[in-house]
Amino acid sequence: MSKDELRILCPNGHLGFAPTKEASFYIGAKTKPDYYCCDSGSDDIGPGPLGADISVSHYQWQKHDLKLMLLASREQGVPMIVGSAGDTGTRSRVDMYVRIIKELAKEHNIPDFKLAYFYSDVDKGYLKEKLDKGVVIEGLDGRDSLTHEVLERTDRIVAVAGIHPFVKALDMGADVIIGGRSSDCAIFAAPAIWEGFPENLSYYLGKVLECASFCAEPYGAKETVIGTITQSDVKVTAMHPDQRCTVASVAGHAMYERANPFYEYFAGGMLDMTNCIYEQYDEKTCRIKGPKFVPVEGKVKVKLEGSGKVGERYIGIAGVRDPYTIKNIDQVVEWSRQQVRERFGDTGYQLNYRIFGKNGVMGEYEPIKKIKSHELCLVVEGIAPTREMAEEVTMIATRQVFYARLPEVKGTAGTAAFVVDEVMPASPAYEWTMNHVIPVDDPMELFEVNLIEVKR
């Protein structure tokens, strides 16, 4: 153990999704943190980017954020770590980030450094062999265990790395690490554990830093925070002059979006936040003590995410202002559905309606009495095996909003709704086919770390 404390700067809760705010980043960089770490992916973006193997973050925004981190970390001579490259962490996204790092190094004449990277892609043949041998690949969040049928309709799979490939890269002397799909927390916990700090505090450090300034108040995204870990506590400090990390903001963030808000699973164990103690350390800093880390019993399980294409997709939009039509909007939607059924039957396509009012949003089954707006917007989504069929399904459904036959309408045309005459092509529709965990003998079994030297 060579350090009494370790300081990690996190500039953005999702690198590149929207640009990092530079002012607070530079404030943080001036304090000379020990590491620059950032998560660059999420399953919040849905299954489409993974299935199509694309980024949803703008290329220039991603390059902007990587540039901030690379220049600051190389000038200071400390490591930079990015996980879940390019939103999904697939091979193509990792390769893209490696290219960007090389380009930036050349553009800015950065002295030689070591760049490590790893892939997270999982071959379907590997999983088929596991299933053939009777290995149970357990489903999460109520999903059934993986079957051959579900595997067959999956187009692309990534494994979610824990701390292990990051630790190996640090062991190899990496100055910059670009990771495939990764646990958000592991990106930050790995260097802390590698530096000799306790697992329980290291994982909590990752938990509080993963979304950057989301753990601060007042709300302000894409601002920099710094986490400090010692042998006995974690402290998190907001860098934006008008933000503070408070007991309420930090505790609230730590417990958000968890099925059980006090626990989170990682490859190797479970973070238990039940007995965390939050204290206001200073005006901008919250101090945390008491998290526990419970090691997993038996084989380590690695999470798998898989996406499969459902079909081609079109979007239609209809605006409704007639009060009588608004009052009977459920009947309008049913009429629209029936017209599609008459043309295509009941199966072989998907048809979804979303109804938006100026004073709120209502789902398809929300009672109509809650709608008080004088205008509604219907977004119609049609999904089918071909683009031609998806277009026609969506066009019928959208235009039939205008033609819906309601009781007590005496024949006046054109007053009920305005309907966009042309539906719009959208990206193909994908579904999450896999949210599972696979038991492995070695937590590095699905990840291979590569090391190269980037020369001036």
How far, in Å, CA of 114 to CA of 134, rounded?
41
pLDDT digits (tens, 9 = 90+) for 100-146: 999 999 999 999 999 999 999 999 999 999 999 999 999 998 999 99
In this prediction, residue 259 has a pLDDT band, given cuts at 50, 70 and 90, of low
CA distance 31 to 238: 12
Q: What pLDDT does 320 receive?
A: 87
What local confidence, expressed as pLDDT, does residue 365 receive? Answer: 43
Question: What is the average per-residue pLDDT within 245-261?
Answer: 82
**Amino acid symbol at 42:** S
d(CA 443, CA 162): 8
In this predicted model, what pLDDT tens digit does every residue of 182-230 receive, in sequence order?
999 999 999 999 999 999 999 999 999 999 999 999 999 999 999 999 9
- Angstrom distance (rounded) from CA 157 to CA 279: 41
Closest CA to 421 of 407, 439, 401: 401
pLDDT band at 297 (very low <50, low <70, confident <90, very high): confident
164 pLDDT tier (thresholds 50, 70, 90): very high
d(CA 257, CA 412): 49
Beta-carbon contacts of 408 under 8 Å, excluding residues fewer than 6 positions away, are: 324
Give the Cα separation of 103 and 454 in Å (integer).
Answer: 10
What is the pLDDT confidence band of residue 356, given thresholds at 50, 70 and 90? confident
Tell me how long the chain is.
456
Q: All domains of the chain, ordered by start, with CATH?
A: 6-120+160-299+441-454 (no CATH), 310-431 (3.30.70.600)
**Model confidence at 420, in pLDDT bands (50, 70, 90)?**
low
pLDDT at position 361 over 50:
no
pLDDT at 371 over 60: no
Q: Could you tell me if 67 and 223 are in contact, meaning their C-beta atoms sit under 8 angstroms apart?
A: no
pLDDT at 418: 55
* Structure-block tokens of residue 413: 């045309």
Distance separating alpha carbons of residues 288 and 209, to the nearest angstrom: 13
Distance separating alpha carbons of residues 185 and 210, to the nearest angstrom: 6
Which residue from 179, 133, 183 is spatially nearest to 447, judged by alpha carbons? 179
* 174 band by pLDDT with thresholds 50, 70 and 90: very high
pLDDT of residue 367: 47
pLDDT top residue among 255 and 43: 43
Closest CA to 296 of 332, 323, 264: 264
Of 180, 57, 192, the closest CA to residue 116 belongs to 180
Q: What is the pLDDT of residue 364?
A: 47
Compare 358 and 325 and report the one with higher pLDDT.
325
Q: What's the whole-number mean pLDDT along residues 239-252?
A: 97
- Both structure tokens of 143: 């999903």
- Residue 88: the pLDDT is 97
Measured in whole angstroms, the distance separating CA 195 from the mean position of its chain's CA atoms is 28
Q: What share of the chain is helix, strand, coil (3-state, %, to 5)?
A: 30, 30, 40
* DSSP line for 110-156: PPPEEEEEE--B--HHHHHHHHHTT---EESTTPPPP-HHHHHT--E
Chain mean pLDDT for the chain: 91
Least confident of 44-53, 92-101, 321-330: 321-330
> How is 374-416 classified by DSSP, letter by letter?
S-EEEEEEEEESSHHHHHHHHHHHHHHHHH---TT--S--SSS
- Reported as a single tens digit per residue, the pLDDT across 27-68 is 999 999 999 999 999 999 999 999 999 999 999 999 999 999
d(CA 339, CA 397): 7
Q: Is the pLDDT of residue 421 over 70?
A: no
Q: Report the share of the chain in percent with pLDDT over 90.
A: 78
Instruction: Determine if the pTM surpasses 0.85.
Output: yes
